[in-house]
C-alpha cells in the first residue's frame, strides 16, 4: 500500500478536514481538508436482506449475539404501523450508519449511493452551494472556513461560526452528510442558516443565495521586490500541474522570495501534498510518516523534482489549514526549509480509505495516522507556527491582511 520512496498516484489519501471538514456542500468537500485516503476498493453488495452471518448459536465471529438485531428487524417489519415506510434498503443503510456512528469518529462515514455521488462530485472542485467548509466540533456543526469569493464569504460567515439551525431545523441531531445535503442546492435558490457566534449574545439568521462554486487550486500574485505569492486553496488532481506551471514561471524570473498561503485550505490528496513538497525539498527527503495498525511505519519521500531549493520561503497557515496543508507546513518546518507563519492549524492527523460498493454506496474509514518527518503528531492539537501572527478585529474592518504583509516584511528583511 505504501513504499519507502514516495507515494504513487493510485494512493488517494483524502486529507480533508472533512468531517471534520466537508466543503462539498457547500460547495464541495474538505476537507479534502479532512481526509486522507489510501485507496479505493470496490466490493460487491446488494440490497437483498438475508439472515445474519453469525453461526447457528446466533454468535458472530466476534462473539456478539447478532440474534437481537434480527429480532428487532422482524418486530419492526411485522408490527410497525406505517407499512409504506418499511423499505429494506433504507433500513439496511440506517443500520450500517448506526454501526459506523458508534465509533464516534467523525472521519469514518458510511454514505448511501446518493451521498456517494455528492462526495465524488465534490472532488471535482465545481458544485452549486454556498461555498464553506464544515466540521463537527464538540457535537456542533461548525464552519471551518468560507471559501474565498464564495456566497458564504459574501454573507459574512466566519471561521468558528456554529450553524445552529438550517431552515429552522436544529442541526444537533444531524450527521455532517445530512447537514450538507440540506445546505446544498441549485444556483439561484436560497438557504437560511441560524448562526451562533462566540462574540455575540444571541443567534442570528443569515439567508444565502446559492451559486456555482468554482475553486481554483492555485493562484499567483507577483509582489514588490521580486517576491511571489502563491495561494494553494486545495490539494486535488489539478493542483500539481497548476503549481508546477507557476513554479516554472518563477524560475524564469529568479524570485527573491516565495510565500505559499495555505490558509483556509482544508486539505485533499496526500500524494499531491508530497508532490508539492518535491519542488521545495531535495530528492528522497521524508515528507510524512504513515502509521497503520499492525504494520511497520511507512515513510513517503519527495520524488526528486526540486526546482526551488534555495528561494527564501514563508508558509502562511491558520486554524482552517488542515490535513494535507498541515503535512506540507509540517515538512517545511521540520526540515527548516522555510518559516511557517500565522496561527495554530486545525489538527487533522488521520488517514481515511474509501471503499466503494456495487450498489453505489461507500465507506470512508480511518485506517492510519500520519506524523511529520520528525515523528510529531498534530492530531487534535494542530501545528504551531514558527512566527505567530494573528489577524486583529481592526484588520478585518480595514481589509488588511496582516499575516500576508508580515510574510512580505520577513522576506524583505532577509535581503538587507
State the pTM of this model.
Answer: 0.77
> Cell 452528510 identifies what position?
177
Residue 41 gets the label, from left (phi > 0), alpha (psi -120 to 50) or beta, of: beta
- Domains assigned to the chain: 218-349+369-414 (3.90.226.10)
Q: How far apart are the first and last CA of the chain?
A: 48
Residue 399 gets the label, from left (phi > 0), alpha (psi -120 to 50) or beta, of: left
Marked catalytic residue, from 150, 298, 323, 361: 323
- How confident is the prediction along the chain (416 residues), in pLDDT tens digits per residue? 333 223 333 344 544 433 333 333 333 233 333 344 433 433 344 444 455 555 445 555 566 778 888 999 999 999 999 988 899 998 999 999 999 989 988 889 899 998 888 776 655 555 788 988 887 877 889 987 787 788 998 999 988 899 999 999 999 888 777 888 889 888 999 999 999 998 898 999 999 999 988 777 899 999 988 899 999 988 888 899 999 999 988 888 778 899 999 998 888 888 999 999 999 999 999 999 999 999 999 999 999 888 888 899 999 999 889 899 999 999 999 999 999 999 999 899 998 888 999 999 999 899 999 999 999 999 999 999 999 999 888 887 788 899 999 999 999 998 76
Q: Angle at which helices 270-277 and 324-334 pack, to 10 degrees?
A: 30
Q: How far is CA 70 from CA 65, 95, 337, in A?
A: 10, 11, 58
3 state SS of 191: strand
Helix ranges (DSSP H) in 123-169:
151-154
Cα 410 from Cα 389, distance rounded (Å): 12
| Paired strand residues for 292 | 368
Marked catalytic residue, from 30, 352, 361, 403: 352
Marked catalytic residue, from 12, 301, 348, 404: 348
Known catalytic residue: 79? Answer: no
Q: In angstroms, how far apart are the furthest CA atoms of the chain?
A: 81
Cα dihedral 16/180/134/348 (nearest 10): -30
Known catalytic residue: 404? Answer: no
Closest residue by Cα to residue 15 from 353, 342, 281, 247: 353
Known catalytic residue: 234? Answer: no
Amino acid at each position: 500500500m505504501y513504499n519507502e520512496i514516495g507515494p504513487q498516484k493510485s494512493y488517494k489519501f483524502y486529507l480533508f478536514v472533512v468531517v471534520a471538514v466537508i466543503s462539498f456542500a457547500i460547495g464541495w468537500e474538505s476537507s479534502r481538508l479532512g481526509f486522507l485516503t489510501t485507496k479505493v476498493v470496490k466490493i460487491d453488495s446488494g440490497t437483498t436482506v438475508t439472515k445474519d452471518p453469525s453461526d447457528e448459536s446466533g454468535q458472530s465471529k466476534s462473539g456478539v449475539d447478532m440474534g437481537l438485531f434480527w429480532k428487532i428487524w422482524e418486530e419492526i417489519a411485522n408490527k410497525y404501523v406505517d407499512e409504506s415506510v418499511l423499505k429494506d434498503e433504507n433500513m439496511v443503510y440506517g443500520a450500517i450508519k448506526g454501526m459506523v456512528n458508534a465509533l464516534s469518529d467523525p472521519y469514518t462515514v458510511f454514505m448511501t449511493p446518493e451521498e456517494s455521488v455528492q462526495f465524488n462530485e465534490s472532488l471535482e472542485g465545481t458544485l452549486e452551494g454556498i461555498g464553506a467548509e464544515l466540521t463537527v466540533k464538540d457535537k456542533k456543526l461548525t464552519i471551518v472556513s468560507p471559501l474565498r469569493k464564495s456566497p458564504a464569504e459574501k454573507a459574512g460567515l466566519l471561521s468558528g461560526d456554529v450553524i445552529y439551525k438550517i431552515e429552522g431545523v436544529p442541526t444537533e441531531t444531524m450527521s455532517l452528510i445530512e447537514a450538507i445535503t440540506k445546505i446544498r442546492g441549485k444556483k439561484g435558490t436560497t438557504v437560511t442558516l441560524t448562526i451562533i457566534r462566540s462574540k455575540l449574545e444571541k443567534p442570528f439568521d443569515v439567508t444565502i443565495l446559492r451559486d456555482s462554486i468554482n475553486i481554483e487550486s492555485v493562484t499567483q500574485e507577483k509582489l514588490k521586490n521580486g517576491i511571489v505569492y502563491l495561494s494553494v486553496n486545495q490539494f486535488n488532481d489539478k493542483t500539481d500541474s497548476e503549481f508546477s506551471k507557476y513554479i516554472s514561471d518563477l524560475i524564469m524570473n529568479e524570485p527573491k522570495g516565495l510565500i505559499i498561503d495555505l490558509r483556509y485550505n482544508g486539505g485533499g490528496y496526500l500524494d499531491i501534498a508530497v508532490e508539492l513538497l518535491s519542488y521545495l525539498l531535495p530528492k528522497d527527503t521524508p515528507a510524512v510518516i504513515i502509521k497503520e495498525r499492525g504494520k511497520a511505519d511507512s515513510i513517503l519521500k519527495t520524488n526528486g523534482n526540486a526546482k526551488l531549493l534555495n528561494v527564501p520561503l514563508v508558509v502562511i497557515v491558520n486554524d482552517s489549514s488542515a490535513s494535507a496543508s498541515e503535512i506540507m507546513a509540517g515538512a517545511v518546518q521540520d526540515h527548516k526549509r522555510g518559516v511557517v507563519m500565522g496561527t495554530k492549524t486545525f489538527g487533522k492527523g488521520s488517514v481515511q480509505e474509501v471503499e466503494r460498493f456495487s450498489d453505489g454506496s461507500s465507506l470512508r474509514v480511518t485506517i492510519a495516522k500520519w506524523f511529520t518527518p520528525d515523528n510529531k503528531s498534530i492530531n487534535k492539537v494542530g501545528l504551531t507556527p514558527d512566527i505567530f501572527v494573528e489577524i486583529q478585529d481592526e484588520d478585518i474592518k480595514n481589509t488588511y491582511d496582516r499575516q500576508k504583509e508580515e510574510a512580505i516584511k520577513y522576506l524583505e528583511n532577509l535581503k538587507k
